[in-house]
């Protein structure tokens, strides 16, 4: 009895220490803090730590890729080079930029500015996408979805890819600078953000999705800045970019769940396979954000309050799909949220542009009789 009593403080100390050790090793910190092992994957628990170092590519994959690259034609076809720019994504980026240009309530829309803006944005986007593909051929060739891209399928040698990406980047940002310096800097910064931060971050941290969403949100700011002469202080600029930022979470988190196995196999650090519950929660959270963001367009005077009827219907449709996905974050619900997001964005843009044009027309009608009466 005495014996066991004399031991109890020791025992409790020991068990407290071991439970702390267990807690830390299971949840946050590697067993040897601040040692070299801190940076290695084996001491991390994926479920609790969003950071892990990129894994080195499989030698078999490297061999396969090398053979493909060696058999690539000496001079690539222009169509293969264009594919490097992800044309469908680039068209979407240009459309969001042009829509934002049309929404900005500033006088003196100019055809010349619109042409430079469109070409500048398109070339910047082509450049960013080409850099992205030049940086990831070892990963692209491991996924069914990306295996057919020009570099992994052996249609373009990486050196031509780099050359193409740099040339389009220089041309695109120069054209954007011709519109005005704000547009130029935004275009250039977006290329750097996509290739220099987002692309490497995909293999390091689940935070990549937030950075990727900033990349998607900057083109509307370019459109706005082109119309306003570089002024981004109007609340409408914020709401246009915020809509694009928020949209990417239901869209991308759902997509990422659909291809989660591929992402996991290649070592892409995606919330869809590392933290599926968080992934679905974030998709729902940003879908809900559409309600206040849409009202932001009314509040900032871009559209009339009647806009909220159509916008709320579109937003509630997306929210319903995001809620289903949140309750059951499985592939079937992810697919249905993904398609809902594909429908939702054009719907919101068409509604916003339509309501804006209607408002401009109504406002001009209200002003015109005043002008004629003052002329009399
Ligand atoms: C003006 C300008 C520079 C615009 C850039 C627009 C742009 C490139 C947007 C991309 C948005 C994005 C995060 C896509 C996913 O890339 P991903 O690498 O995850 O896609 P992947 O897996 O298909 O390669």
Residue 362 pLDDT: 84
Cα(235) to ligand 1 centroid in Å equals 26
221 and 243, same domain (yes or no): no
Q: Do 82 and 199 belong together in one domain? A: yes
Residue 9 domain-assigned? no
For residues 214 and 70, membership in a common domain is answered with yes
So what's the pLDDT on residue 51? 56
Residue 51: DSSP 8-state: B
Q: Among the atoms of ligand 1, which is closest to the Cα of residue 187?
A: 1
Look-up: residue for tokens 């559209």?
303
Q: Within this chain, do residues 78 and 175 fall inside the same structural domain, yes or no?
A: yes
Supply the residue whose CA is at minimum distance from atom 15 of ligand 1: 212
pLDDT in the model for residue 53: 56
The answer to whether residue 375 sits within a structural domain is no
How far does residue 3's CA lie from ligand 1's centre (Å)?
Answer: 68
3-state helix, strand, coil split of the chain in percent (to 5) is: 75, 0, 25
Domain membership of residue 3 (yes or no) is no
Same domain flag for 121 and 212: yes
Beta strands (DSSP E) in the chain are none
Q: 181, exposed or middle or buried, with CB in 10 Å at 0-12, 13-18, 19+? A: exposed
Low-confidence ranges of the chain (pLDDT < 70): 1-57, 368-376
What's the 125 CA to ligand 1 centre distance in angstroms? 8
DSSP 152-201: TTTSS-HHHHHHHHHHHHHHHHHHHHHH-HHHHHHHHHHHHIIIIIIHHH
Residue 294 placed within a domain? yes
Residues 100 and 181 in one domain: yes
Ligand 1 site: residues with CB under 6 angstroms?
93, 121, 124-125, 128-129, 132, 187, 190-191, 194, 198, 212, 215-216, 219
Mean pLDDT estimate for the chain? 84
Query: Is there a single domain that holds both residue 335 and residue 275?
Result: yes
**Contact of 64 with 141, CB cutoff 8 Å:** yes
* 15 belongs to a structural domain: no
Same-domain pairing of 302 and 336: yes
Report the C-alpha dihedral over residues 94, 99, 104, 105, rounded to 10 degrees.
150
CA angle 201, 250, 223 (to 5 degrees): 75
- DSSP SS3 for 133: helix
Residue 175 Cα to ligand 1 midpoint, Å, equals: 20
Is residue 207 located within the same domain as residue 256? no
Most ligand 1 atoms within 8 A of CB, residue of 94, 101, 128 to mutate: 128
Hunting for tokens 């509040």 — which residue is that?
299
| Token pair in block for residue 89 | 């994504």
Ligand 1 pocket test target in 85, 93, 130 with most atoms within 8 Å of CB: 93
Say how many Å lie between the CA of residue 129 and the centre of ligand 1: 6
What is the CA(58)–ligand 1 centre distance, in A? 25
Most distant CA pair in the chain: distance in Å? 111
Q: Residue 66: how many CB atoms within 10 A of its CB?
A: 10
C-alpha torsion sign, points 190, 192, 193, 194: positive
Domain total of the chain = 2
Per-residue burial over 26-51, b if 16 or more Cβ lie within 10 Å, else e, is eeebbeeeeeeeeeeeebbeeeebbe
User: What CATH number did the domain enclosing 64 receive?
Assistant: 1.10.357.140
Closest Cα to atom 5 of ligand 1: 125
Structural domain ending residue among the three candidates 181, 216, 233: 233
**228 and 244 inside one domain:** no
Rg over alpha carbons for the chain, rounded to the nearest Å, is: 26
CA dist., res. 137 & res. 131, Å (int) = 11
CB of 198 within 8 A of CB of 216?
no
211: which 2 tokens?
């950075």
Of 206, 233, 260, the domain-final residue:
233
Residue 180 structural domain: 59-233
Query: Which DSSP state fits 33?
Result: T
* Residue at 6 is within a domain: no
Task: With beta carbons less than 8 A apart as the criterion, state whether 290 and 315 touch.
Answer: yes
68 and 123 belong to one structural domain: yes
Ligand 1 atom closest to the Cα of residue 208 is: 13
Chain segment 276-319, per-residue pLDDT in tens: 999 999 999 999 999 999 999 999 999 999 999 999 999 999 99
**Residue 139: predicted pLDDT:** 87
212 CA from centroid of ligand 1 (Å):
7
Residue 347: how many CB atoms within 10 A of its CB?
Answer: 17
Q: Are 286 and 356 members of one domain?
A: yes
* Residue 13 within any structural domain of the chain: no
Kindly give the number of the ligand 1 atom that is closest to the alpha carbon of 191. Answer: 3
Q: Give 40 Cα–ligand 1 centroid separation in angstroms.
A: 28
Point out the domain boundary residue: 216, 233, 250: 233
Query: Does 239 map to a domain?
Result: yes
């Amino acid at each position: 009895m005495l014996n066991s009593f004399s031991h109890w403080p020791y025992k409790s100390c020991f068990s407290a220490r071991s439970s702390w050790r267990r807690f830390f090793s299971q949840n946050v910190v590697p067993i040897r803090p601040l040692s070299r092992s801190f940076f290695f994957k084996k001491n991390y628990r994926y479920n609790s730590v969003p950071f892990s170092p990129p894994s080195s590519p499989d030698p078999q994959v490297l061999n396969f890729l090398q053979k493909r690259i060696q058999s690539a034609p000496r001079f690539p076809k222009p169509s293969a080079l264009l594919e490097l720019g992800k044309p469908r994504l680039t068209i979407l980026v240009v459309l969001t930029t042009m829509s934002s240009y049309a929404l900005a309530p500033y006088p003196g829309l100019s055809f010349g500015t619109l042409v430079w803006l469109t070409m500048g944005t398109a070339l910047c986007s082509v450049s960013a996408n080409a850099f992205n593909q030049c940086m990831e051929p070892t990963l692209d060739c491991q996924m069914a979805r990306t295996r057919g891209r020009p570099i992994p399928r052996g249609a373009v040698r990486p050196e031509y890819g780099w050359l193409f990406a740099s040339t389009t980047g220089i041309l695109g940002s120069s054209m954007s600078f011709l519109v005005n310096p704000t547009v130029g800097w935004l275009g250039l910064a977006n290329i750097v953000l996509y290739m220099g931060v987002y692309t490497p971050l995909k293999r390091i941290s689940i935070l990549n999705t937030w950075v990727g969403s900033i990349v998607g949100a900057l083109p509307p700011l370019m459109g706005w800045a082109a119309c306003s002469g570089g002024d981004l202080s109007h609340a409408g600029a914020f709401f246009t970019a915020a809509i694009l930022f928020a949209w990417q979470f239901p869209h991308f988190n759902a997509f990422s769940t659909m291809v989660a196995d591929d992402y996991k196999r290649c070592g892409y650090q995606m919330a869809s396979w590392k933290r599926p519950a968080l992934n679905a929660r974030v998709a729902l959270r940003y879908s809900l954000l559409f309600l206040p963001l849409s009202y932001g367009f009314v509040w900032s005077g871009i559209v009339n309050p009647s806009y909220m009827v159509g916008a709320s219907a579109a937003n509630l449709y997306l929210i319903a799909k995001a809620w289903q996905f949140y309750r059951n974050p499985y592939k079937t619900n992810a697919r249905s949220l993904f398609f809902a997001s594909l429908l939702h964005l054009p719907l919101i843009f068409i509604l916003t542009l339509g309501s804006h044009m209607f408002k401009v027309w109504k406002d001009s009608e209200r002003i015109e009789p005043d002008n004629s009466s003052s002329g009399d």
